[in-house]
Structure 1
Amino acid sequence: MSLPMLNKHGRVGTAFRPAVVGKAPRSTVRVMASASPLTFSKYQGLGNDFILIDNRHSSNPVVTPEQAVKICDRNFGVGGDGVIFALPPVGDTDLTMRIFNSDGSEPEMCGNGIRCLAKFVADVDKAAPRKYKIHTLAGLIQPELLADGQVRVDMGEPILEGRKVPTTLAPTQGSTVVQQDLVVDGKTYKVTCVSMGNPHAIIYSCDGKTIKIDELDKELAALGPKFERNAVFPARTNTEFVEVIDRSHVRMVVWERGAGRTLACGTGACALVVAGILEGRVDRDKTCQVDLPGGPLQIEWSTADNHIYMTGPAELVFSGSVRA
């Protein structure tokens, strides 16, 4: 078995076989001084990477938001976009998910993260592929492990009412904010607002021109925070900039609330397909391929139950322990 090596960005140099949490692999990572090490596994979904902790013995996360910031540091910690906890179930569910972002904030849910959580729990329990009912701050989410290794997630219904996203932008279609003007740095962006249990601002055009990812990509680091913390988004927002390839294929880059630029955002991919359908750019009831910097996701908004379905990978990177 190859030993994983972390580069200066916290990325793994060589892949190796999954290890079960609780059985310390030779690749154990120990950083930061504390009384006792904390066992974890690191998973990634299209490069959106998370530290997973089996916290099912307690309803309280064993790591504080401040500790999560340190653990997520790519130079002095393990490195990741967030820390995800598998907590005891609530009501008629299998478990509860909570997540602390790399800045210590707590989002309602994470699409790539919940695929990683389902894979993590299955690996820990040595369970056969199955469907999980997971309680989140965004409600019930149901990921299903498929035989081919992919994870298909019933993300539930999108929230379209502007004030519930939330945003103070004026509605343009009933109570929904679709292609509303928002001026940032002197440019007028057409914004559609959707919540997948967490807020998203989706942009397909600016100053009357459709988005070109290769051009906008260079501006994302400066532009993203100006959307995330804009006054029209009282709970801050995730922001997706989208280029249409055809009616069932789009490209996107994302600035995530609390994590900044990431390689993938599962809830964002879902939200942008909803926005594309509302704007008449994408077809409903057909699988839409969303190309993210970390790879593709398959998204469908079904008219049968009004639910969004997301399919994509979740993979173990390595397991170890950390002094939190």
Structure 2
Amino acid sequence: MSLKFAKMHGLGNDFVVIDARTEPVLMTEALARAIADRKTGIGCDQLILIGTSDRADVGMRIFNQDGGEVEACGNATRCVPLFVGRDVSIETKAGLLRAGRSGDLVSVDMGEPRFGWDEIPLAYAMDTLAMPASWDDLPSPAAVNVGNPHIVFFLDDRAAVDMAKLGPLIEHDPLFPARVNVNFAQMLDTNHVGLTVWERGVGFTRACGTGACATAVAAIRRKLASGPVRVSLEGGDLLIDWAPGAHIMMTGPATHVFDGQIDLAELSL
């Protein structure tokens, strides 16, 4: 069996996007992992399935590089209007999202953030704005769920922190029963944040849309910034706007790189 696909990215966070609206695809963890493999498959951070929905224009399923299915991906959501060819409502495991193009940029309504310890989720009750937990000499983090779980550290100097060691250690800490995305943030200027993200099931990524949203929300809650917040990642900048009680609005670029076709029988499953 062969599958047509599009290769897309948002700020270098790259995706294989498959249209399952007319021909359903039985996606398994092993198949998603094989397609995402950069040596023996197509290669991507996430595999995206665009399907039908009874509640929205399209449905979106998201599989990380390790094959695990996750709830949300902000950068992938920005790619959906380019893939479909129009502004769309999107059903995801995180809820209904809306994405629309404006020139070269795409804006997404990411919904409301959640802050309850059981909504992150954490293993037990605690304050999520200044968590009484830390690792090595990291400062007290904030936790936010923006469709998927995030923890945010605000650092004086990201370069002084061993993020390669701490990222996987924190991701798999028993405090996070669903694991967690780890954000290492640094205030660069008023309403401007530098960000490095260790993504759950992926590792370091050039950009993470939900990470940018979680970090901007945490910065605003801690009164380190006020919206809109410019978040600078390795792949480029995102603009995040949020006020308490409101939805998060994320704006940034999305790119359609090429279309292709893959023979599934040739994959190493």
Q: TM-score, normalised by structure 1?
A: 0.78
Q: In the aligned structure 2, how far is the partner of 1:167 from the partner of 1:247?
A: 31
Listed one character per residue, the Cα deviations across residues 13-59 of structure 1 (whole Å, up to 9, x for unaligned) are xxxxxxxxxxxxxxxxxxxxxxx22110100000000000011125x
- Structure 1 runs of 4+ aligned residues shifted over 4 Å read none
* Partner of residue 22, structure 2: 57
Question: Can you list the C-alpha shifts for 1:60-115, whole angstroms capped at 9, x where unaligned?
Answer: 53432211111111111111001101110122x10100011110101101000111
How far off is 1:322 after superposition?
1.0
Amino acid at match of 2:148: N
Q: Which has the higher strand share?
A: 2
Q: State the alpha-carbon separation in 2 of the partners of residues 295 and 221 from structure 1.
A: 21
Q: What is the match of residue 311 of structure 1?
A: 251
Output aligned runs, 1:123-202, within 5 Å: 130-146=86-102, 148-168=103-123, 170-172=125-127, 177-184=128-135, 186-202=136-152
Q: Report 1:199-214 matches (<5 A).
A: 199-204=149-154, 210-214=155-159
Number of the residue aligned with 1:113: 76
Q: Pick one of 59, 62, 66 that aligns with 2:30.
A: 66
Q: How far is 1:170 from its partner?
A: 4.2
Larger Rg: 1
Distance in 1, Cα, partners of 2:178 & 2:54: 25
Aligned-residue sequence identity (percent) comes to 41
1:144 partner amino acid: G
Is residue 220 of structure 1 aligned with residue 163 of structure 2?
A: yes
- Specify which of 11, 15, 19 is matched with residue 46 of structure 1: 11
1:234-253 matches, within 5 Å, as: 234-253=177-196
Matched, 1:262 2:226: no
- Please give the secondary structure, in 1, of the residue aligned with 2:160: helix
* Structure 1: unaligned runs, 5 residues or longer: 1-35, 123-129, 205-209
Q: Residue 118 of structure 2 aligns to which amino acid in structure 1?
A: R
Q: Structure 1: how far apart are the matches of 2:74 and 2:52?
A: 20
Task: Verify the 8 A CA contact 1:102 1:258 in the aligned structure 2.
Answer: yes
TM-score by length of 2: 0.93
Aligned to 2:267: none
Distance 2:195 2:78 in 1: 20
Tell me, what secondary structure is at the counterpart of 1:306?
A: coil
Shift, 1:272, TM fit: 0.6
Aligned twin of 1:127: none
Please report how far the alpha carbon of residue 318 of structure 1 lies from its aligned counterpart in structure 2 after TM superposition.
1.4
Task: Quote the residue 1:103 is aligned against.
Answer: 66
Q: How many residues align?
A: 264
In structure 2, stretches of 5+ residues that fail to align are 265-269
Note the aligned Cα RMSD (angstroms).
Answer: 1.5
Deviation at 1:314, TM superposition (A): 0.7
